Amino acid sequence: MTIAGQAAQGPTRLALWTRAASYRTHPNALVRAAAWHAQSLAHEEQRNRGGVLRAAAAGLDAIDEHRRLIGSSELRALATTHGRDLTTIALRHAATDPRTLLRWSERTRATALAQPPATSDAATIPASLAALRDNGRRLAEARAEGEPTDALERERLRLERAVRSESHTLSATTAEQQKPPSVEEIVAAVGDGCLVELVDVDGTVHVLVTHAGRVRRKVAGSTEEIAALLGPTQMLLRRASRGRATDMSALGGQLQEAILGDAVRLIPDGPVVLAPTARLHGLAWPLLPVLGDRPFSVVPSAGQWLRARATPRPAATRRRTLLVSGPGLATGGAEVPLLAASHPDATLLAGRDAALERVLDQLDGADLVHLAAHGNFRADSPLFSALDLADGPLTVHDLERVRRAPYRVVLSACESGVLAPVGAEELLGLAAALFSLGTAGLVSSVAEVNDTATADLMVELHASLASGADPATALHRVRRQAADDPVAAGTAAAFLALGV
């Protein structure tokens, strides 16, 4: 197109956007959101940065109104897709000012986690969910015995469709969604600590470092460059999980340069809270040299971190510890008897006792829960990610029936902490379900782990937790103790502390 043609097209484009923006008062929230997007594009055409951000805010408010009416966690997260274009344009225009970018990053990430899940009557197991769990048990038995599974696989798909359909009809909870924190609240909460928040702006990672009253920004690598390193990272962790010594230092340096770049010079000594983009949430962050030898925790957002900090721990007289050992573990859940010996008052569920209803009943309101059970992350349908129990899988749908969240949870299984990015910077998975319920902190893995090494690491982790350490500090101690053993070090690198 010639320059003259482009000039002629400009007013026409602006006129069309202005016409579309006239629907800003439409009764349908999604129509209003689209109209506000048109208004933001019109302002962008006129180089009106303030107008762009105001229009984007109004559009996202409309998306929030729509999402608050939805009961299903899955649909709530997916609903943010309607606001993806609004998020993109807002971050683009906010990127030049660190505080403005932090405010907009918090406005547009992990919003679904700020609203508790809606469920059917927690005292009644939905028939389709019970049938799905029974199918999972029979499917696992058939696979173990080498029997045909085609019919069971078809039954599983049918039952999953039924469970999903039922969850999509749930009414929204009456609990009010918590608003994102202001930049001032975040800066005050961080204090002399350090918050590192990553923001994807048009395919480039911007690193926001909050420390000692300041928010500073550095531009790092492209999301495409970073994505190319994720596959090799998982491959090296897989090698370590299978008992093969692996040197990950070179790859860790590459990851750090691509993800953090010059921002590493802004990170002070001491603990760090890391809020990555949704697609980087499952990275083995201990591989980065700047994080490898310090306590750090990973959170979906600064807002979620503040909510976790504000979550009250059960009173000392009401603290309960739950230890669960699921079936089929290579070590037989070797750490669980050792943990039971050091927690004589804990409830121990192993063998046939490690059944879903008993686990959920004891998990409700517990202070500390350790779940040693095989994990199965479902990228195709994150709410069916599960932990294997004696009578079948415990899925996210099951977890959402818990009335009172456990305060802290340790998931020692492979990939138990993997979260699927959906919608616009939203997350779904086992860890996300616990966060939305109100769990303050988790320790979980983001890759395959070596069962034998994991058992040893878990004993050391719980010893640190029992001494009063928070999960980030406890994991840091575990990583230090494992440093001289390549397999143990690779296993320790796969575990993250989430929350507080």
pLDDT digits (tens, 9 = 90+) for 215-248: 999 999 999 999 999 999 988 888 878 877 777 8
Q: How far apart are CA 1 and CA 480, in angstroms?
A: 61
Query: Which residues are paired to 321 by β-bridges?
Result: 368
What is the rounded average pLDDT for all residues in the chain?
89
- The residue that leads in pLDDT, 371 or 328, is 371
Quickly state the pLDDT bin for 414 (edges 50, 70, 90): confident
Whether 49 is covered by a domain: the verdict is yes
> pLDDT tens for residues 166-186?
877 776 665 556 788 999 999
Q: In the predicted model, is pLDDT for residue 391 greater than 50?
A: yes
pLDDT of residue 288: 96
pLDDT digits 0-9 by tens, 433-445: 898 889 999 999 9
pLDDT (0 to 100) of residue 172:
65
Same domain, 138 and 100: no
Which among 165, 157, 179 has a CA at the least distance from the CA of 61?
179
| Domain-embedded: residue 344 | yes
Using N-to-C axis directions, what is the helix angle for 335-342 and 451-466, rounded to 10°? 10
Same domain, 212 and 102: no
Question: How far apart are the C-alpha atoms of 176 and 475, rounded to whole Å?
Answer: 34
Q: Which residues span the domain enclosing 308?
A: 181-500
What is the model's pLDDT at position 394?
92
- 105 with 154, same domain: the answer is no
| Alpha-carbon gap, residue 23 to 34, rounded angstroms | 8
Q: What are phi and psi of 125, to 5 degrees?
A: -80, 120
Tokens representing 163?
């469970």
Q: pLDDT tens across 98-154, in order?
A: 999 999 999 988 777 777 776 644 445 678 888 888 888 898 888 888 999 999 989
Confidence of residue 497 (pLDDT cuts 50, 70, 90): very high
How many domains in the chain? 3
In this predicted structure, what is the pLDDT of residue 2?
Answer: 40
Q: Are residues 188 and 230 in the same domain?
A: yes
> Phi and psi for 193 in degrees, rounded to 5?
-80, -155
pTM over 0.75: yes
pLDDT above 80: residue 427: yes
Q: Within a domain: residue 307?
A: yes
Q: Do 162 and 306 lie in a common domain?
A: no
Q: How many CB atoms lie within 10 A of CB 347?
A: 19
Helix (H, G, I), strand (E, B) or coil at 296: strand
- pLDDT tens, position by position, 31-78: 999 999 999 999 999 999 999 999 999 999 999 888 888 877 888 888
Q: Do 363 and 252 share a domain, yes or no?
A: yes
216 and 140 belong to one structural domain: no
- Domain assignment present for residue 401? The answer is yes
pLDDT over 50 at 8, yes or no? no
- Helices (DSSP H) in 98-248: which residue ranges? 98-107, 127-144, 150-168, 183-190, 223-241
Same domain, 154 and 243: no
Report residue 334: phi and psi, to 5°: -60, -30
Q: What is the DSSP letter of 81?
A: G
Contact in structure between 359 and 349 (CB atoms under 8 Å) = yes
Tokens of 143: 């696979």
**CB-side neighbour CA atoms (13 Å) of 85:** 13
214 in a structural domain: yes
Q: Within this chain, do residues 200 and 320 fall inside the same structural domain, yes or no?
A: yes
Is the Cβ–Cβ distance between 451 and 461 less than 8 Å?
A: no
pLDDT score of 204 more than 60: yes
Which carries the bigger pLDDT value, residue 303 or residue 452? 303
Query: Are 191 and 77 in the same domain?
Result: no
Q: Are residues 75 and 191 in the same domain?
A: no
pLDDT tens for each residue of 9-39: 556 888 999 999 999 999 999 999 999 999 9
Task: Classify residue 175: in a domain, yes or no.
Answer: no
Kindly give, in sequence order, each residue whose CB lies less than 8 Å from that of residue 53, ignoring residues fewer than 6 positions away. Answer: 90, 93, 94, 100, 104
Claim to verify: residue 188 and residue 141 sit in the same structural domain? no
Residue 450, pLDDT > 70, answer yes
Q: What are the backbone angles phi and psi of residue 321, rounded to the nearest 5°?
A: -115, 135
Q: Is residue 3 part of a domain?
A: no
Q: Smallest Cα–Cα separation from 98: which of 195, 187, 180, 209?
A: 209
Q: What is the pLDDT of residues 369-387, one digit of tens each?
A: 999 988 888 878 888 888 9
16 domain-assigned: yes
Whether the per-residue pLDDT at 1 is higher than 50: the answer is: no
- Read off the CATH number of the domain in which 201 is found: 3.40.50.1460
